[in-house]
Amino acid sequence: MIRVRDLETSIAFYQAALGLEIKEQFIFDEFTLTYLGNQTTDFELELTYNHDTDNDYSHGSGYGHIAVSVEDIEESFHGLTLLDMKPTNIKHLNHKNTHLASFFFIQDPDGYKIEFLQRSKRYR
């Protein structure tokens, strides 16, 4: 679950960046819960929108990031670049002379980081 300041902007971002669509949405008097997912996996992202909050949220020192695996890291990087989502450079991580991961990051409209990992043995 992540808290978002502008629900429509966040939904549009996650649709474009990750191909996620609204699975369910519950609108309460004070807040809205929106669940995003796709047909490929059971992964769900819950967006919480508090109706009376106009200020940005602080991520604090305990926040990590969301990570997703993709079939083709170069294709994903190129597509997000075309959408002007400003991905970081693709990096390659080795451990004991063995390739472990290829990855890059983008940020959502609220500053949450999303890591894109090339699918491999460890990252599915």
Q: φ, ψ for residue 74 (rounded to 5)?
A: -65, -45
- Residues of the chain scoring pLDDT < 50: none
Q: Determine the Cα–Cα distance for residues 113 and 74; give it in Å rounded to an integer.
A: 19
Q: What is the pLDDT of residue 95?
A: 86
Q: What is the pLDDT of residue 40?
A: 84
Domain locations along the chain = 1-52, 64-124
**115 is known as an active-site residue:** yes
CATH number of this structure's domain 1-52: 3.10.180.10
Angle, CA of 45, 3 and 77, to the nearest 5°: 55
Q: Determine the Cα–Cα distance for residues 103 and 113; give it in Å rounded to an integer.
A: 12
For the segment(s) 64-124, the CATH number from 3.40.50.970, 3.40.50.300, 3.30.365.10, 3.10.180.10 is: 3.10.180.10
Choose, from 21, 24, 30, 115, the residue flagged as catalytic: 115
Q: What is the pLDDT of residue 110?
A: 92
Q: What is the pLDDT of residues 29-51, one digit of tens each?
A: 999 999 999 988 888 999 999 99
- In sign, the C-alpha dihedral spanning 53, 58, 64, 70 is positive
Domain 1-52 shares a fold with domain 64-124: yes
